[in-house]
Amino acid sequence: MADANELTDILELERIELDMFRGFTPPEERSRIYGGQVVAQALTAAYHTIEDRLCASLHAYFIRPGDPTIPVMYLVERVRDGGSFSVRRVIAVQNGAQIFNLAATFQVDEDGFEHQSAMPKVPAPEDLLNEEQLRDAAGVAPQPGRRLWPVEVRPVDPIAPGDLTPRETENAVWFKSRQPVRPDIPANQCALAYASDMTLLDASLRPHPVNWDSGGMQVASLDHALWFHRASDFGDWHLYVMDSPSASGGRGYNRGLIYARDGRLVASAAQDGLIRYRPKKKA
């Protein structure tokens, strides 16, 4: 297994023109770019056109699978700069075709009413195994050439490899960047955006006797939305609490709440995912 890639390196974009940027994918044996990477790089590109405002929300659509062997071009449109809010639209392009687009709002810092849902009580991350340790404990070898994800994930209710027992949709994991993140809020928002696509779609699979490795499964993120509520340090543990209220028509709808370790609700996520199951017919 390769060394961990620092999240800050993945989110370091090359500026080509005033509002045009180029992003890269770390070497790995995957047929398509991880969706959270494109979300986070697009948000990073948008931030390069923003001053003194923080991202309030983003809404994105995955249009085509990204090719991890070539760069991604990010084109930013400065839609509006108002008194309190700014709007940016970002298009990600490979081989002359859109693979992804994102719209994001940015807001000046201001005071307002405060309330939030309480963080559920779960075991501390120090009392849980991460995904690599769980595979080792089960005797499952890592895929050859697969890199170590730059985000460490510790499931609260891990499912053993090969276990297809249907479960409730509710799921939770602790996660954080393996490497320190810069202290500024935009850097931590982009790091959190990268991680927010991890494990979220799993919620819509849990009630069914399948998993990502089941033969005949076609699983992919279709869209992604993220709302930022409070600042946090993604170099420290965050709790991602997820559920799936509905699945139908080959799609699963998933929701997530992201808490800092001190119990503050820092972000919310929502996603529709493709979850087709087309097992091969027996001869």
d(CA 197, CA 211): 17
Residue recorded with tokens 């501390």:
124
Query: Which SS3 state, helix, strand or coil, does residue 195 take?
Result: helix
CATH code: domain 7-109+125-277 is: 2.40.160.210
- Of 177, 189, 197, 244, catalytic: 197
Task: Indicate the DSSP class of residue 126.
Answer: G
* 248 annotated active-site: no
* 184 annotated active-site: no
Task: Indicate the DSSP class of residue 172.
Answer: E
Helix locations, 48-138, DSSP H: 131-137
Residue recorded with tokens 């992604």:
224
d(CA 66, CA 116): 36
* 163 annotated active-site: no
Of 109, 117, 40, the closest CA to residue 72 belongs to: 40
- Of 221, 232, 244, 268, catalytic: 221
Domain boundaries, the chain: 7-109+125-277
Each of the 283 residues of the chain gets a pLDDT tens digit; together they read 344 568 999 999 999 999 999 999 988 778 899 999 999 999 999 999 999 999 999 999 999 999 999 999 999 999 999 999 999 999 999 999 999 999 999 999 999 999 999 999 999 999 999 999 998 888 776 654 456 789 999 999 998 877 889 999 999 999 999 999 999 999 999 999 999 999 999 999 999 988 777 677 889 999 999 999 999 999 999 999 999 999 999 999 999 999 999 999 999 999 999 999 877 665 5
